[in-house]
Structure 1
Amino acid sequence: MPQWSDYSNGERIKILRGAEIRQDDLAEMTGLSVATIQAAEQDKRLSLPTLLKIAAALSVDTSVILGQQAPRRALRQEDRTMMRELSHAVHDTAAGAATTVEAPTLSELASITRQGWNLYWKGRYAEAGSLAAPLLRSAAARLREQPVGEQAEAWSVVADAYRICAYVANLMGVRDLAYASIGHAQRAAEHAGDDLRQALVTSGRSWVYLRDARLPEALELAERAAVEIEPRFSRATPEQLTVYGSHVNFAAVVASRMGDKERAADYLSQSHATGARMGQEVRAHGTLFGPVSATTQAVGINVSLGQTGKALTLISSIHDVGQLSEAAQHRYALDKAMAQADAKMWDASLDTLEAALRSAPYWARHQALPQVIVSKVGRASTARLRRVSKLIGAPGVAGFPPATAKNAL
Structure 2
Amino acid sequence: MSAESHIGSRIRGLRGRILTQRELAEAAGVSVDLIRKLEQGARRTASIGSLHAIARALDVDIADLLGRRVGPLSTEPGAGVVAVRRALTTVDDLLDEVEQDAPTSIGQARRTVAYGWAAYWHGRYAQLVGLLPQMIVQLRASAAVEQASRQSAHELLSRCLWLAGCTLVHLGHPDPAWLAIRQAITAAEQGGDDLLCGVLRGSAAWQLLVQGRYVEAHRLATHAATSIQPGADADPERLSNYGSLIITAATAAARDGRTAEARHLMAQAAEVAVHTGDRADYETYFGPSQVAMQTVDIAVVTEDYTGALSAATRMPRDSTLPLASRARHLADQAFAYARLGRRERAVQALLVAERMAPDWMEYQTLPRRVVSELLGAERSTPLRELAHRLGVSD
2:252, 2:367 → 1: CA distance? 20
Residues 236-385 of structure 1 mapped to structure 2, 5 A cutoff: 236-279=234-277, 281-318=278-315, 320=317, 322-377=319-374, 378-380=376-378, 382-385=380-383
Please list every run of 5 or more consecutive structure 1 residues that lacks an aligned counterpart in the other structure: 4-70, 400-409
Query: Match of 1:77, SS?
Result: coil
Flag the structure with larger Rg. 1
SS across alignment from 2:280: strand
5 Å matches for 1:3-402?
A: 73-78=69-74, 81-92=79-90, 95=93, 98-147=98-147, 151-232=150-231, 234-279=232-277, 281-318=278-315, 320=317, 322-377=319-374, 378-380=376-378, 382-394=380-392
SS, match of residue 288 in structure 1: strand
Q: TM-score, normalised by structure 1?
A: 0.74
Letter in 1 for 2:337: Q
Q: 1:102 Cα deviation (Å)?
A: 2.1
SS at match of 1:103: coil
3-state SS of paired residue (1:120)? helix
For residue 325 of structure 1, what is the amino acid of its counterpart? P
Shift, 1:342, TM fit: 2.1
Q: CA RMSD in A?
A: 2.5
- Please say if residues 256 and 305 of structure 1, whose CA atoms lie closer than 8 Å, have aligned partners that are also in contact: yes
Q: Aligned in 2, Cα 1:286/1:318: closer, same or farther, shift over 3 Å? A: closer
1:273-310 residue CA offsets vs partner (Å, 9 max, x unmatched)? 1211112x211111121211111221111111112222
Matches of 1:211 and 1:352 in 2, distance apart?
Answer: 23
Instruction: Specify the code of the residue in structure 1 equivalent to 2:142.
Output: R
Moved more, 181-190 or 128-137: 128-137
After superposition, the Cα gap between the structure-2 partners of 1:202 and 1:316, relative to the gap in structure 1 and judged at 3 Å, is same
Give the whole-Å Cα distance in 2 for the aligned partners of 1:261 and 1:351. Answer: 29
CA distance in 2, matches of 1:257, 1:158: 32
Residue identity opposite 1:303 in structure 2: V
Confirm or deny: 8 A CA contact 2:251 2:298 kept in the other structure: yes
The AA in structure 1 aligned to 2:71 is L
> 1:311 and 1:79 mapped to 2: Cα distance?
42
Q: Secondary structure at the match of 1:85?
A: helix
Instruction: Give me the whole-angstrom Cα distance separating, in 2, the residues matched to 1:75 and 1:185.
Output: 22
Distance 2:110 2:349 in 1: 37
Task: Give the C-alpha shift of residue 363 in structure 1.
Answer: 0.8
Q: TM-score, normalised by structure 2?
A: 0.76
Kindly state the Cα deviation for residue 166 of structure 1 after the two structures are TM-superposed.
Answer: 0.9
Letter in 2 for 1:243: N
Q: Identity over aligned residues, as a percent?
A: 26
- Per the TM alignment, residue 381 of structure 1 is displaced from its structure 2 partner at its CA by 5.4
Check 1:296–1:72 CA distance in 2 against 1; reply closer, same or farther (3 A cut).
closer
Deviations 1:254-290 (A, max 9, x none): 11111111111121112211211112x2111111212
1:102–1:94: structure 2 CA closer, same or farther, 3 Å change rule?
A: closer
Structure 2: tracts of 5 or more residues without a match: 4-66
Q: Report the CA distance shift for 1:293/1:182 in structure 2 as closer, same or farther (over 3 A).
A: same
1:353-392 deviation per Cα after TM superposition (whole angstroms, max 9, x unaligned): 1221233222111100012212333544533432331232
Report the alpha carbon displacement of residue 123 of structure 1 after superposing the two structures with TM: 1.0
Q: By how many angstroms is 1:324 displaced? A: 1.0
Q: Distance in 2 between matches of 1:282 and 1:108?
A: 25
Secondary structure in 2 matching 1:249: helix
Higher normalized contact order (CA 8 Å, seq sep 6+, divided by chain length): 2
Q: Distance in 1 between matches of 2:389 and 2:75?
A: 19
Q: Compared with structure 1, are the counterparts of its residues 167 and 125 closer, same or farther at alpha carbon in structure 2 (3 Å cutoff)? A: same
